[in-house]
Amino acid sequence: MTFRRTIALGATSLALVVAGAVGTSAQSPTIRIGSDNFYESKLAAEIYAQVLEGAGWTVDRQFGLGSRPDREPAFEGGQVDLVPEYVGSGLGFQLKGSTDPKLTALAGNADGEATREKLQQAFDIKGLGITVLGITPGVDINATVVRPDTAQQDGLAKMSDLAAHQNDLKWGLPPDCDANPLCKDALEAYGITYPPTQREALDACSTPLAEALANKAVDVAWLCSTQPDIARFGFVVLDDDKHQQPSDNLAPLVRNDFLQKAGIEASALAGVLDPVSAMLTTEKLTELGVKIAVDQEDVEDVAKAFLATIQLPAGSPAASPAS
């Protein structure tokens, strides 16, 4: 019999049902979970870590590996086994600089599921041995934001409005913008000369960048659309009118060699993590972000509280008693 179950991390029931789907730590190696160096990536990684720990697995946390140009080589090189990824930005990273027609054919924005499938195809074409699990319904896209006074003064409502004022503005951009086609190439698509004449290199989606914007140290900032600092400071999000930013739903990536070593199928791991991912809506990601970035709660505590309250759909492996 299947039924709805409220997850309580550490509970024996969760350990049994998840273990039934993906094995136990006695049967499987330690799983090394990594993340980027900003709070939302760490939060997603911590949620996945706690679910697997609830199954009795040992988790080696290697969070804060850096931005994608640092984290992705660490993952592809086998330093970690599982990472959360934004599928649109991840696809852009895999296609950057490629002249392979099979890869370049994957370019172009699409909805979340289509983008997830394209990312899987890119990994397969490149022979990287990586599986993309299910996406979250929540989307967190790159957002270019300004203060209300700047928007009013310069008549800024959309990204196309920036080009005429670019040399009069101080830009807060991530250090890896040069290597990120969704940053550098997107700006150039709007007629913005890269690098801008006045640029501060600050981590994307970070509170220090948001505070620099609020305090007028910069005039334009590269934040994330679910970032609570946008509402906190009343920033104006400029419309991506040329649609340069893809759907950035989150999904766990797992190395196939880890699955082989653990003796499990990707579908079994997906059966446990996908129902949890399905609870991460845009509104929920924003709500959890407020707790971390504004209320200064620990990522571990926020993840635990989230998992203790969600209910999984009947029929999912983590919602059904082990047989």
Percent of the chain with pLDDT over 90: 67
Q: What is the pTM of this model?
A: 0.79
* Domain coverage including residue 306: 5-139+248-319
Which residue has tokens 């709660």?
297
**274 and 232 in one domain?**
no
Backbone angles phi, psi at 93, to 5 degrees: -65, -40
Q: What is the model's pLDDT at position 323?
A: 29
CA–CA distance, 63 with 59 (Å, rounded to integer): 12
Residue given tokens 């054919």 in the structure block: 105
Q: Of the spans 52-61, 89-98, 240-249, 250-259, which averages the highest pLDDT?
A: 250-259
Domain CATH code at residue 60: 3.40.190.10
User: Is residue 131 located within the same domain as residue 146?
Assistant: no
What's the pLDDT tens digit per position in 47-71?
999 999 987 889 999 999 998 989 9
87 and 226 together in one domain? no
Domain shared by 131 and 202, yes or no: no
pLDDT score, position 224 = 87
- In order of 42, 204, 206, 232, 318, the CA distances from 211 in angstroms are 21, 12, 9, 10, 40
